[in-house]
């Protein structure tokens, strides 16, 4: 019973301390490949205010671009406009829009 109370208090404290993020442009990449995070496989992560978080609630990396392409999340840090909240060590996205890459200038 004591353990159940401790878990409930930690859960409630965690929920009350959730940090909301609204329409913020953040760095996004593979957490393991580009941000050095520990994980089981290549997974999308964001960097918010200098801290990295795995993302829940967004499409898989492959839905945006081949992760291993030159501009893919395993090889490049991109940017996205996101909304959601940080809960524990995860970012719970309610919106996630990849910022379009600027086209390269054509050489003459």
Euclidean distance between CA atoms 105 and 38, whole angstroms? 37
pLDDT of residue 1: 78
Q: What is the pTM of this model?
A: 0.77
pLDDT of residue 45: 97
Positions of the chain with pLDDT lower than 70, given as ranges: 7-17, 102-108
pLDDT of residue 14: 54
Domain boundaries defined on the chain: 20-98
pLDDT of residue 106: 65
Record: fold of 20-98: OB fold (Dihydrolipoamide Acetyltransferase, E2P) (2.40.50)
Please measure the distance between the N-terminal and C-terminal CA atoms of the chain and give it in whole angstroms.
74
């Amino acid at each position: 019973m004591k353990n159940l109370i401790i878990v409930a208090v930690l859960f409630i404290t965690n929920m009350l301390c959730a940090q909301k993020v609204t329409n913020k442009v953040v760095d996004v990449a593979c957490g393991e490949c580009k941000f050095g995070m520990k994980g089981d496989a290549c997974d999308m992560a964001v960097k918010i205010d200098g801290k990295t978080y795995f993302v829940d609630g967004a499409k898989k990396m492959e839905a945006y671009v081949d992760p291993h392409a030159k501009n893919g999340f395993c090889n490049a840090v991109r940017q996205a406009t996101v909304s959601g909240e940080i809960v524990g060590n995860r970012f719970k996205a309610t919106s996630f829009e990849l910022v379009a890459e600027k086209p390269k200038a054509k050489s003459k």
